[in-house]
Amino acid sequence: MEYRSNSYGLKTFLEHWPFLPVAVVAILTTMILDFFTRLSGTPWIWCYGIGLAVAAVGISLIFYAKLPLYRQRRFLTFGSRALPENSRSYYRWGYRCVLFAVVLLLCLFLSRP
């Protein structure tokens, strides 16, 4: 009984319906690809602008997180280990925003001219 109370039924559900998550991901992927292949004109420009804006927000978050290191004249540090504890979340969110913007801009390559 302890096994059932800790899993909340998710493990049992996935054992009986293993194809469901795959089907949901496949349907969502098809919908996203269909959206980007039909994109042209003004909506394409809006998606491009949103991608650039999200990238700018991400870069500014990374800069804000690394500002204490720049004040110490430590310019070439990688990762969040050298950052102060309170700026690590800004650093991680900055990279998440940049990654989202790169994926969005790469998806715009799928659109038709």
Helices within the chain (DSSP H only): 2-7, 10-16, 19-37, 42-71, 88-107
State the burial class of residue 29 (Cβ atoms within 10 Å of its Cβ: 0-12, 13-18, 19+): exposed
Give the pLDDT of residue 3.
52
CB neighbour list of residue 27: distance below 8 Å, 6 or more residues apart: none
In this prediction, residue 80 has a pLDDT band, given cuts at 50, 70 and 90, of confident
Q: What token pair was written down for 64? A: 């804000």
Per-residue model confidence as pLDDT tens digits over 25-78: 999 999 998 998 888 889 999 999 999 999 999 999 999 999 988 899 988 888
pTM of the prediction?
A: 0.74
What confidence tier does 10 reach under pLDDT thresholds 50, 70, 90? confident
